[in-house]
Amino acid sequence: MPNYDKLTLKEAVLQWKAHCEAVEEATTTNAHETEKQKKERIKHLLSDYGAFVDYYFPHYTSNPQTGKQTPCAPFQIKAAKQIKADKNLKAVYKWHRGAAKSTHIDIFIPMWLKAQIYGGAELRQFWVMVLVGKSEDNAKTLLADLQAELQYNKRYINDFGQQHNNGTWEDGSFVTKDGTAFFARGRGQSPRGLRYRSHRPDYIVIDDLDDDELCQSPARVTKLTDWVKEALFGALDGGRGRFIMVGNLIAKNSVLANVCAIKSVKVSQVNILDAKGNVSWAAKWTRQEVQAIEDFTGYRSFQREYMNNPIVDGAVFRADWIRWAKRPAWRDFTEIVLYIDPSWKSSQKNDYKAAKLWGKTKKTQLWHLRAFVRQATVAEMVRWCYDLYEWAEKTGIAIKYYMEANFMQDALLDDFTTEGVLRGYQLPIVGDKRKKPDKFLRIESIAPLWERGFVFYDDSQKDDPDMLAGIDQTLAFQKGMRGHDDAPDADESAISILQKHSKITSFTPSFGKRTTAKNVTW
């Protein structure tokens, strides 16, 4: 799908014309195909959505890097079948960025449904389609790509007849030769009375209605949600017809989130990585490519754009509380602790492992010195811990190693033992036997240390990806979060040990007569 964002009208028209030429060029037909072969092929394509997309839209599915076509993802095929099966479907397709949601829901699926009447096999799937975008221009742009396919896709025209209808082929509003009408509307525009002849809309698609500016205003989100539920939904004939919304969840306060909350609405959520860390559209991206996306965008942006997990930046910790400074001399630290949080699921690459090195000075400052925060195996984390131990020995630094006692009994401790055998010594890990209270309360309780200026970060690590990943998780931390919190959890545990060891245990409080101003000396 062409990208018309930030183009002038003239530039957009030129790009659209180039796109139309590309459609024509890519959809050449087989002149030697017999009528029987043609009918058999069409019958197969109408029953197989993935094959339908591969045949009619090679200009969308071809991969310029490999020269091969990228097949549909399983979730795209499932959505097509669901939409075809239920003419009164009310659904939200909450798919990650790059999942081709607009391409499938706005173009491929409508054309697949429209073609079902070929040979009288099925009744007409829909009469009037309305495509709703952020603005009228945005909606017209989205609809123009569907219009280009109906007018210039030679394969589709060869199989299902001429679609272009002189006199009714306008920008943002057109009717095909068989009487199927298509309209574009912007958010907030009145859809009342929208119909073609006696037919009211029966296929409404709301495409990426939310944006950052809108989601910052609860009042505007509420007003637009009401417009969707009342005016737009009311354009259907008494609720009959498909009412579909597509987008990724960029904010918890959004129209998409509000529509998902409606009980009768079916919600399809697809993240770029599934719960096991596998790529949802494996035919398009490798796991390494997805990791590269996260490395570039950062944890919080990746969670929002690709994992449908919008995170409120600074809900507990604020960015201006992160203080980088020149580290004191190692001899100025009274205690240095490495807290290891290997996570329970040691076999899953998508699960974060965290090991955080913290130090305390005589002035009770807390310094974050080194970090391991990665989606890695336990073995990789173990090697890092041993490398740190050997570096500390050479540098003359004494480090205390801690790990939650429950993990000390787990099979993952075998990784430490195995690495120790290879290196000729065992890492002196102490089990943390503290009975930990609720995680959110624990981590939230140390936030004032950042706010009051007691926490510092070693500025020699300012460009270290592990340190930055840990800061991302810290700033993203909030109650009920679905993202990763391994880094701030390890921070809290290390700080708890340092703070506990800071307490003066020999002080005996005196409970006696209150001191008066008269006998106070300054």
CA distance 156 to 158: 5
Q: What angle do the packed helices 49-56 and 74-85 form, to 10 degrees?
A: 110
Residue 6: predicted pLDDT: 59
Backbone angles phi and psi of 299, in degrees to 5:
-60, -50
Which run of H or E residues covers position 184? strand 181-186
More confident residue, 216 or 283: 283
Residue whose token pair is 């030697």: 32
pLDDT at 409 (0 to 100): 67
What phi and psi, each to the nearest 5 degrees, are found at residue 456?
A: -130, 155
**Contact (Cβ atoms closer than 8 angstroms) between residue 101 and residue 93:** yes
Q: How far is CA 506 from CA 253, 498, 513, 522, in A?
A: 52, 17, 22, 25
Q: Output phi, psi for 3, to 5 deg.
A: -105, 110
Structure token digits, residue 247: 């987008």
Neighbouring residues of 500: CB distance < 8 A, sequence distance ≥ 6 = none
pLDDT at 518 over 50: no
| Torsion angle of C-alpha atoms 205, 211, 213, 217, degrees rounded to 10 | 60
**8 A C-beta contact, residue 81 and residue 74:** no
**Mean pLDDT to the nearest integer, 399-417:** 81
Residues 62-70: contacts with CB under 8 Å, at least 24 apart: 62/26, 70/283, 70/284
DSSP string for residues in 488-502:
HHHHHHHHHHHHHHH
Please report, rounded to a whole number, the percentage of residues in the chain having pLDDT higher than 70. 90
Q: What is the residue type of 305?
A: E
What are the pLDDT digits (tens) for 336-392?
A: 999 998 875 544 445 689 999 999 998 899 999 999 999 888 889 999 999 999 999
At 356 the three-state DSSP class reads strand
Give the amino acid at 464. Answer: D
When mean pLDDT is compared across 5-9, 57-61, 222-226, 333-337, the lowest value belongs to: 5-9
Range 480-486 average pLDDT: 75
Taking 70 as the threshold, does the pLDDT of residue 311 lie above it?
yes
pLDDT at position 480 over 80: no
Q: 13-55, pLDDT tens digit by residue?
A: 788 788 888 898 889 999 899 999 999 999 999 999 999 999 9
Between the CA of residue 115 and those of 46, 122, 132, what are the distances in Å?
7, 9, 23
Confidence of residue 64 (pLDDT cuts 50, 70, 90): confident
Q: Give which of 265, 270, 298 is closest to 104, Cα–Cα.
A: 270
- A 10 A CB-CB count for 178 gives 14
75-131 tens-digit pLDDT? 999 999 999 999 999 999 999 999 999 999 999 999 999 999 887 778 899 999 999
Q: Which helix or strand (DSSP H or E) is residue 259 part of?
A: helix 255-260
- DSSP classification of residue 341: E
Q: What is the pLDDT of residues 417-462, one digit of tens each?
A: 999 999 999 999 998 988 888 888 899 899 999 999 999 999 999 9
Q: Mapping DSSP to helix (H, G, I), strand (E, B) and coil, where does residue 424 land?
A: coil
Which of 481, 475, 468 has its CA nearest to residue 310?
Answer: 481
CA-based angle 489:306:259, to the nearest 5? Answer: 100
SS3 243: strand
Separation CA 302–CA 386 (nearest Å): 31
Q: Round to whole Å and give the CA distance between 106 and 228.
A: 18
State the pLDDT confidence band at 410, using cuts at 50, 70 and 90.
low
CA–CA gap between residue 408 and residue 431 (Å, rounded): 7
Q: Kindly list the structural domains of the chain, giving each domain's residue range(s) and its CATH number in brackets, ordered by start.
A: 72-270 (3.40.50.300), 319-502 (3.30.420.320)
**DSSP string for 47-86:** H-HHHHHHHH-HHHHB-TTTSSB-PPPHHHHHHHHHHHH-
Across 274-413, the runs of DSSP E, i.e. the strands, are: 324-325, 333-341, 352-361, 366-375, 400-404
Rounded to whole angstroms, how far apart are CA atoms 285 and 269?
A: 18
Q: Are 492 and 356 in contact (CB under 8 A)?
A: no
Q: What is the dihedral of CA 506, 512, 514, 516, to 10 degrees?
A: -90
* Distant-in-sequence, close-in-space partners of 64: CB < 8 Å, separation ≥ 6: none
Does residue 205 register a pLDDT over 80?
yes
Q: Where is pLDDT greater, at 396 or 297?
A: 396
Average pLDDT, the chain: 88
Distance CA 400, CA 356 (A): 12
Give rounded-to-5 percent helix, strand, coil for the chain: 45, 15, 40
